[in-house]
Amino acid sequence: MKATAKAHTNIALIKYWGKRNEELILPTNSSLSITLDGFYTTTSVAFDEDLSEDIFVLNNEVITGEAYRRVSRFLHLIRETAGKQNLYARVNSVNEVPTAAGFASSASGFAALAAAGTRALGLDLTHEDLSRITRQGSGSACRSIYGGFVEWNMGEREDGTDSQAIQIQTENHWDVRVAAVELNSKMKKISSRAGMKRTVETSAFYSGWLDSIPNDLKEIKVGIATKDFEKVGAVAEANCLKMHATTLGAAPPFTYWHDSTMRVMQTVQEMREKGIPAYFTIDAGPNVKVLYLPENEEQVEKILKDIPDVQNVTLSKIGPGVTYL
Ligand code: PMV
């Protein structure tokens, strides 16, 4: 009744931005990501008949409060699926997602927890089954089950049984790199959960965002299949800008950007003017991720590190899906 799994973070090129069902975590649009090899979580789950509640240890620290409840609620879903409602677990997680890189660890965290938890209870699941369960821990985590290029199909059914990710290309298809640019910032964060909820409910631009998704997905898939970096980068950057535009149309309006976020965005656009193909994308926070090709790595890293207010630049290749240790 014990298993250990490792899962990597992912970065969306076509963003998931909005839920149609908060409880089941069903999205309002399909999304597409790449899995990153530099950032991962390793999690052991041991179910034990002698335990009267779950225990969650993260980076050698016993976790309580909301983070604990989220993990315990998710374990409950796994227990129900296995028909073992009263069996509690000891969860030990180690995050290799440097907070300095500005990545949320929920994607790799829930993917590793789902993989280890289901394996520990002897559930024999396909990757699609596992992705569907993982989705209910954290939406974007359902894409981290797979390596390479991954699409989360939003599905149509109300019970969520057709909302899961699939792999569209493996990590060996194409060597695209990502630089995670962390900025000095002390602004209060609006969580992705709260940000997307406000946007879905109030943004004047939300329907425009949704209307633009099918074509963005179609275009980026052509770009990935033909390894057309300019196309993939341009579609991803424009999709990110549209997502962030929806927050400006919300009531009350908000933005995740800082002045330094815009400085990085402008620097990336200037790189292109100088002939270095590089494109940015940004999640629900001020930090920027920059897509580039391996032959430009040195230059891209240097230019990004020289921007005022940049605290850290972490480079990553495309990474694999969930593995069991
Ligand atoms: O799954 P969450 O709640 O961490 O939301 C992720 C939202 C974005 O990172 C902004 C976009 C995405 O698709 O990952």
Asked whether the bond before 27 is cis by omega within 30 degrees of 0, the reply is no
* pLDDT reported for residue 184: 77
Torsion over CA of 139, 144, 150 and 154, rounded to 10 degrees? -20
If one compares 190 and 42, the residue with the highest pLDDT of the two is: 42
Residues 312-323 pLDDT 10s: 999 999 999 999
Measured from the CB, is residue 151 less than 6 Å from ligand 1? no
- The Cα 255–Cα 265 span in angstroms is 15
* Whole-angstrom distance, CA of residue 75 vs CA of residue 105: 18
If you measure from the C-alpha of residue 74 to the centroid of ligand 1, how many angstroms do you get, rounded to a whole number?
18
Global pTM?
Answer: 0.96
Q: Which atom from ligand 1 is nearest to the alpha carbon of 284?
A: 10
pLDDT of the residue at 105: 78
Residue 189's pLDDT is what?
80
Hey, which of 10, 14, 17, 70 would you mutate to test ligand 1's pocket, going by the most ligand atoms within 8 Å of its Cβ? Answer: 17
Nearest to 77 by CA among 137, 146, 127: 137
Q: What is the three-class DSSP state of 158?
A: coil
Which tens digit of pLDDT belongs to each residue from 58-69? 999 999 999 999
For the Cβ of 41 lying below 6 angstroms from any atom of ligand 1, the answer is no
- Whole-Å CA distances, 34 to 8, 165, 170, 207, 322: 10, 12, 10, 26, 13
Percent of the chain with pLDDT over 90: 94
Closest CA to 304 of 257, 258, 265: 265
Q: Could you tell me which of 267, 266, 323, 262 has the C-alpha nearest to residue 111?
A: 323
Could you tell me the distance, in angstroms and rounded to a whole number, from the CA of residue 15 to the centre of ligand 1?
7
Instruction: Assign 3 a pLDDT band (cuts: 50, 70, 90).
Output: very high
Report the separation in Å between the CA atom of 276 and the middle of ligand 1, taken as the mean of its atom positions.
28
Q: Is 34 in the pocket of ligand 1 (CB under 6 A)?
A: no
Encode burial over 139-172: b for 16+ CB neighbours within 10 A, e otherwise. Answer: bbbbbbbbbbbbbbbbbeeeebeebbbebbbebe
Separation of CA 139 and ligand 1 centre (Å): 7
The per-residue pLDDT for range 211-252, each reduced to its tens digit, is 999 999 999 999 999 999 999 999 999 999 999 999 999 999
Q: Residue 48 has what DSSP assignment?
A: E
Residue 176 has pLDDT above 80, yes or no: yes
State residue 99's pLDDT score. Answer: 64
Rounded to the nearest whole angstrom, what is the distance from the C-alpha of residue 84 to the centroid of ligand 1?
Answer: 31
Report residue 198: phi and psi, to 5°: -65, -40
**CA geometry: angle 287, 288, 293, nearest 5 deg:** 150
Q: In the numeric block, which tokens belong to residue 169?
A: 């290309």
pLDDT level of residue 171 (50, 70, 90 thresholds): very high
Mean pLDDT of the 110-135 span: 97
**Is-contact 255 299, C-beta < 8 A?**
no
Residue 31: CB within 6 Å of ligand 1?
yes
pLDDT tens, residue by residue, 49-102: 999 999 999 999 999 999 999 999 999 999 999 999 999 999 999 998 876 566
pLDDT score of 103 more than 80: no
284 CB under 6 A from ligand 1? yes
Is the CB of 240 within 6 Å of ligand 1? no
The pLDDT of residue 102 is 65
Quickly list DSSP for 109-126.
HHHHHHHHHHHHTT----
> Using a 6 Å cutoff on CB, does residue 140 contact ligand 1?
yes
Q: Does residue 106's CB lie within 6 angstroms of at least one atom of ligand 1?
A: yes
User: Going by CA atoms, what residue is nearest to atom 8 of ligand 1?
Assistant: 283
Q: Cβ(53)–Cβ(278) under 8 Å?
A: no
* Nearest in space to 255 (alpha carbons), one of 313, 188, 206, 207: 188
Collapse the DSSP code of 53 into the 3-class scheme (helix H, G, I; strand E, B; otherwise coil) and give the result: coil
The band of 126, judged by pLDDT with boundaries at 50, 70 and 90, is very high
Strands (E), the chain: 2-14, 19-21, 26-27, 31-48, 55-58, 61-62, 88-96, 149-153, 164-169, 177-183, 278-281, 288-292, 310-316, 323-324
Helix H or strand E encompassing 298: helix 297-305
pLDDT of 101 reads 64
DSSP 285: S
Residue 27 clears pLDDT 90, i.e. is over it: yes
pLDDT tens-digit readout, 260-298:
999 999 999 999 999 999 999 999 999 999 999 999 999
Q: How far apart are CA 240 and CA 226, in angstroms?
A: 22
What 3-state class would DSSP assign to 77? helix
Q: For residue 147, what are its two tokens?
A: 């390596």
Question: For ligand 1, atom 4, which residue shows the shortest CA distance?
Answer: 140
